[in-house]
Amino acid sequence: MDDVIKDKEQRIENRTIIRVDVLVAIVFIALAVIVVRLWYLQAINGEKYKVFAEENRIRSIPVRAPRGKILDRDRRPLAVNRLAFTMTLIPEKMDDEKLLKRISELLEIPIDVIEERIESKRVDPLMPRVIKRDVSPETVAYVKEHSDKFHGVEIIDDPIRDYPRGTLASHVLGYLSEISDEELENEEPEYLLGDLIGKNGVENEYEDVLSGSKGVQLLEVNAGNVALRTLKKEEPDPGNDLVLTLDAEIQEVAERALQKGMDLAKKDGFKNARAGAIVVMDPNNGEILAMTSLPTYDPRIFSGGISEADWAVLNDENNLYPLNNRALMSSYPPGSTFKIVTSVAGLRTGVMSSRSRFTCSGGWTGWGKRWLKWCWKRSGHGSRNLEEALTVSCDSYFYDVSYLIHKRGKEELQLWSRKMGLGANTGIDLPGETGGRIPDKKWKAEFNKAWPENQTWFPGDTVNMAIGQGDLLISPLQLVSIYSIIANDGRIPRPHVVKEVITTDGMKAMAVETEEMVKIDVPASDFKAIERGLKKVTTVADGTAAGAFIGFPIPVAGKTGTSEVAGKDDYAFFAAYAPVDDPKYAISVVIEQGGHGGSVAGPAAREVFDYLFGIEDKAGMKR
């Protein structure tokens, strides 16, 4: 019996030993695997995982750069930066619905708008989310007084854009707004949601110059992504400043003159005269001294984030789209201001000379009485040469000239229009420019593709174009450019609004390239013949702008225009340069639905010239 018991105990002991041996073996193997793994991680890939650990421990947070200022030609500030209160929310509180609701009620911003602003994959997880810029001091005080209800809300000092002269030159300056999702996809990767970016004007065109380069802040974080301390901070490089060609004082005068011109039109019964543009340029180098467009807008409403109501106002057709820069984004049939182009084409094709005379009886019957076309003066102007026809703006004279050009069959009126820069962008350093339209046979056929009966180019199309009507379209910027060509004896200036780029301490930062003026192949004698007629427009009794320039001592070469637009009142135009013998300024004026160019656009130009030459207005705008 004892032997049996001992044998049983021996078997149990043997099994125990085996189990212990197996367990020891397993432990040994496990330890060996761990040792090998540690050796692999540290000896083989140690450097790699060290980098991973550092990256998980350290966060790089971008620091926005101060934006460059925008100054006028005398370095007077037009767009600057000011410190404002910006409300932000730390990432840990992004899902706090009660907090978001309190913020929504306080700021009167829909909660879904707030959620959209704070949810972005393009923002570093540690960066506070911008909720609203330019928060009022009262709101800041309320948040601080009730800090227990706004845990996670931070108020920071943040530079935002300010415009010391309010709406002055707003279309040239543009505005800033938070970058959109679509722009984030198209822009360079340094932009993040919440960044401000230039929209319209030089704010947009020179974004790279003004924006500067971001700095960086290195933060040490724990496993929960909570910042523990700042390890390093590299300051951003501020943007450079822009010095514009604009003169703030001339700009102010031009804006006031344009409004007065519209007021005159309303007194004359043109109640819809609510929009227009004036461009003042140095014809010698293309520098834009003033560019105004009405209606306008206040770029400051974008500084803290524009409201839906304000945005709706700016995009309401009834408000005539105030964001549009009519000086270069809008194109119009220019009326009789275009007759200088018809004059150049007539002289260059040889269908006339400056001495050629055509008779105006009031009704033109160049292709038969059945297609009678009236001159603006129904009683007629009699026999006129080029100089006299420009002075009184005789339509019949230019009907005759253009019909002779048309019969040559070479579309030469279009050819010389394009040689003078029409039908294409001027190349100005502003976004959104329209090239206008020079209609021809090809354009008409394509435009009327669905209406074969309207595809033929008729003589009447050329004749209408000759007096700035029909399908011809040019912008106010193009208009001032072609008058600068006459002033320059054929040299074409390239309009531009930036004079130089400087650093924040006033040193030259980079050169602004300006193209050399191209000269078109027209003898100076042709331009002088046209100029003599333009000079009489403002000086002789029957000149169409003589009333606006009574008593003005400086010789001005100008031309009025009255353009018919279907379904609307006539548009008023005036274009000119002065002094005639040594041109320093060129100007174009358009007043939509303003009536007659000599009655409203001419006086608006006179007011600007009064300021430019220091002349006291004795007539012009004071009627």
**Per-residue CA distances from 589 to 251, 393, 424, 604 (Å):** 13, 17, 20, 7
Q: By 3-state DSSP, what share of the chain in percent is helix, strand and coil, each rounded to 5?
A: 40, 20, 35
In the block, tokens 């191209």 appear at: 518
In this structure, are residues 375 and 363 in contact, taking their beta carbons and an 8 Å threshold?
yes
User: What single-letter DSSP state applies at residue 452?
Assistant: G
- What is the spatial distance between Cα 69 and Cα 71, in angstroms, rounded to a whole number? 6
**Per-residue CA distances from 432 to 130, 156, 204, 242 (Å):** 30, 35, 11, 20
- What is the spatial distance between Cα 337 and Cα 561, in angstroms, rounded to a whole number? 5
For residue 60, the cross-strand partners are: 218
3-state DSSP assignment of residue 112: helix
The most distant pair of C-alpha atoms in the chain lies apart, rounded to whole Å, by: 155
For residue 519 the two structure tokens come to: 């000269």
Q: What are the phi and psi torsion angles at 69 (to 5°)?
A: -85, 160
Question: Closest Cα to residue 210, out of 71, 411, 10?
Answer: 71
Q: What are the phi and psi torsion angles at 213 (to 5°)?
A: -125, 135
Query: Does the annotation mark 379 as catalytic?
Result: no
Question: Closest Cα to residue 622, out of 551, 544, 573?
Answer: 551
**Per-residue CA distances from 240 to 74, 165, 501 (Å):** 17, 21, 7
Catalytic residue among 177, 303, 336, 475: 336
- What is the spatial distance between Cα 185 and Cα 180, in angstroms, rounded to a whole number? 9
Contacts of residue 345, defined as CB under 8 A and 6 or more positions apart, other chains included, come to 401, 402, 405, 412, 413, 415, 416, 417
In this structure, are residues 548 and 598 in contact, taking their beta carbons and an 8 Å threshold?
yes
In this structure, are residues 472 and 439 in contact, taking their beta carbons and an 8 Å threshold?
yes
In this structure, are residues 233 and 257 in contact, taking their beta carbons and an 8 Å threshold?
no
Question: Closest Cα to residue 190, out of 279, 92, 60?
Answer: 60
**Per-residue CA distances from 531 to 237, 368, 405, 558 (Å):** 51, 33, 22, 8
3-state DSSP assignment of residue 35: helix
State how beta strands 571-578 and 215-221 pair: unpaired
For residue 317 the two structure tokens come to: 């057709």
What angle do the packed helices 97-107 and 137-145 form, to 10 degrees? 150
Catalytic residues: 336
